[in-house]
Amino acid sequence: MTQTTMDRIRKDWNKKALGKISVFFARTSFKFFERYLQLHVTPVHFYSPIPTTYELDPGVFQKVYDCDGINWNLTKQLEYLEKVFPKYYNEYQPTANSGYLLSTPSSYML
C-alpha cells in the first residue's frame, strides 16, 4: 500500500472513531444535564427551530418590542382575576419546588 492509501485509511478510521465518541458523549452528557441540572441540551442544526445564538446580531437581544397590534385588554384581565379566578382557586394548589423551575417540565407536555 502506498503512503497516501494509508493516510486515507487512517483519516477514515479517525472520522468513524470520532463520530462514535461524539455520539457516546452526546448521549451521556444529555442524561447528565437532564438528570442533575434539569436542562435539555439540543444539537445545533440547520433544521432546528432553536437559533444558533452566536450567529445572531447582538442587537437582537437589546431590541425592545412595543407589541403593536396586541390588545392586552388589562381591565378585562384584572376583572377575570378578581371575579373568575377565585371560584377555581381551591382546585389547584401548587406545591413548593426545590428546583430552578417554576413548575415541573412535565407540566408543559400535552
pLDDT tens per residue across all 110 residues of the chain: 556 766 666 666 666 777 777 777 777 777 787 788 887 777 777 888 888 888 888 888 888 888 888 898 999 999 999 999 888 888 877 777 666 555 555 555 44
Residue 76 has what pLDDT?
93
C-alpha cell at 24: 457516546
Cα angle, residue 59 at apex, residues 58 and 63 outer, rounded to 5°: 135
Of 50, 51, 49, 33, the residue nearest 41 (C-alpha): 33
Element (H, E) at 11: helix 3-36
Task: Confirm whether pTM is higher than 0.75.
Answer: no
Residue 110 has what pLDDT?
43
